[in-house]
Amino acid sequence: MGRSPCCDKNGVKKGPWTPEEDQKLIDYIRFHGPGNWRILPKNAGLQRCGKSCRLRWTNYLRPDIKRGRFTFEEEESIIQLHSVMGNKWSAIAARLPGRTDNEIKNYWNTHIRKRLVRSGIDPVTHSPRLDLLDLSSLLAAIFNQPNLASVATHASSLLNPDILRLASLLMPPQQALQNPNPFYASNLDQELQTPVTSVSSQPQTESITPTDNETSSFKPVNATLDESLPPLKDNLDLDSLLSTPNSSPQQNSIDAEANSSGFFDFGFPDNFIFDDFMFT
DNA sequence: AAGCCGATCAACCGCAATGTT
DNA sequence: CAACATTGCGGTTGATCGGCT
């Protein structure tokens, strides 16, 4: 079968738009309105694919687009929404008036993602990167030990107990029980037993959409946290931002704190090369 | 001054979802 | 209901720019 191309490849211009092309597109849409992108370029006198016209309009020429730098509030909103929705850029954009999915996606990849990593937060799971905690100490231990078994023995004393307790609180009980990491199961003392934050590339929506059974197990953990964590900022309207049925307000409040107040900012040195530890 | 390199972002591509006939 | 057309989405690419050597 095969699908027909979205446009005739011959005679169709690609690459950056010229001001003249922009004006033609704007004029046409002002008069006829957007839509029917396939015939639009022909009628508007543009040597462009309809898809290219649609993209140019929705991402750049639309009059309601807010250009310029993202504000702090917008950035925090993006982090919040991404923690719930994952890479659903269009859904995120729908909740940020004047911003396009493309713009948000770019901003995430070039700014926010790096910022989170620098703060010790996994940009995929939005959880603290416990595997990076006190990494320098761990590395030092490795260099000082003759074999890996002895490194494992020393690891429990090297990791910050307070951080491990915090991680235990954040971990859904079911996941904690499964404890996929035999390293911890065999070597950490009972009280501090906590798996390293999983380096998962699963879509975020999977992990934040608990089944009926899982939902009940989430509540006590987060309720405990809510008591110990300061309230959210008043100007962060999470209800309006996160009205998705699958979202978990408790989880969001944790993320809000983690991201907006430096709660999980473990202060890695500036010269530490985080990207070496990033999964792609 | 020239070359290199990383950051940024507009634009493209392929696929999925949705609409229409 | 199937086939096809159109639109929307997310990942990726590549042009451009500024800083550094």
Domains A19-61 and A72-118 alike in fold: yes
pLDDT digits 0-9 by tens, A144-159? 554 544 444 444 434 4
Q: One-letter amino acid identity for A189?
A: D
- pLDDT at site A54: 86
Chain B footprint bases within 7 A of protein beta carbons:
7-15
Radius of gyration from C-alpha coordinates of chain A: 24
Round to whole Å and give the CA distance between A272 and A14. 41
pLDDT at A91 over 60: yes
Q: Rounded CA gap, A2 and A211, in Å?
A: 38
Q: How far is the CA of A279 from the C1' of C1 (A)?
A: 45
- Nearest nucleotide over every DNA/RNA strand to the A35 CA, judged by C1': C7
Q: Given this model, what pLDDT does residue A133 score?
A: 52
Residue A229 Rama label (left phi>0; alpha psi -120 to 50; beta): beta
Among A8-12, A241-245, A274-278, which is the least confidently predicted range? A241-245
List pLDDT tens digits, range A217-231: 223 233 333 333 333
Q: What is the DSSP string of A125-194?
A: T-SB-GGGTTHHHHHHHHHH-SSHHHHHHHHHHHS-HHHHHHHHHHS-HHHHHH---HHHHHHS-GGG--
Residue A19 CA to B3 C1' — how many Å? 32
**Confidence (pLDDT) at A144:** 55
Between CA A6 and C1' C10 the distance (Å) reads 18
- Per-domain residue ranges of chain A: 19-61, 72-118, 130-200+209-232+247-277
Shortest-distance nucleotide from A51 CA to C1': C7
Q: What percent of chain A has pLDDT over 90?
A: 0
Task: Report which of residues A130 and A117 the model is more confident about.
Answer: A117
Residue with the bigger pLDDT between A260 and A223: it is: A260
Q: What values do phi and psi take at A84, rounded to 5?
A: -95, -45
Higher pLDDT, A174 or A137: A137
CATH class, domain A19-61, is mainly alpha
Q: How far is the CA of A111 from the C1' of C16 (A)?
A: 19
Residue A132 confidence class, pLDDT cut points 50, 70, 90? low
**Model confidence band, residue A64 (pLDDT cutoffs 50, 70, 90):** confident
Chain A residues 68-107, Cβ below 7 A from strand C: 87-91, 101-102, 105-106
pLDDT confidence of A75, banded at 50, 70, 90? confident
Which residues from 28-87 of A have any strand B atom under 7 Å from their CB?
49, 51-52, 55-56, 59-60
Taking the C1' atom of B7, which residue's CA lies nearest? A110
What are A31's two structure tokens? Answer: 């008069």
Q: Give me the mean pLDDT over the A50-74 stretch.
A: 85
- Per-residue pLDDT band at A141 (split at 50, 70, 90): low
The most confident of the ranges A26-30, A201-205, A250-254 is A26-30
pLDDT at A241: 35
In the prediction, which pLDDT does A129 show?
A: 66
Q: How far apart are the first and last CA of chain A?
A: 35
Nearest protein residue to nucleotide B15 (CA to C1' distance) is A3
Instruction: Decide which of A188 and A278 is more confident.
Output: A278
Quickly name the fold that domain A72-118 has. Arc Repressor Mutant, subunit A (1.10.10)
Average confidence score pLDDT of chain A? 58
- Strand B–CB A16 distance below 7 A: yes
pLDDT score of A248 more than 60 = no
Which value, to the nearest 10 degrees, does the dihedral of the CA atoms of residues A101, A254, A218, A79 take? 10
Is the CB of residue A41 less than 8 Å from the CB of residue A47?
A: yes
As given in the structure block, the two tokens for residue A237 are: 């309207």
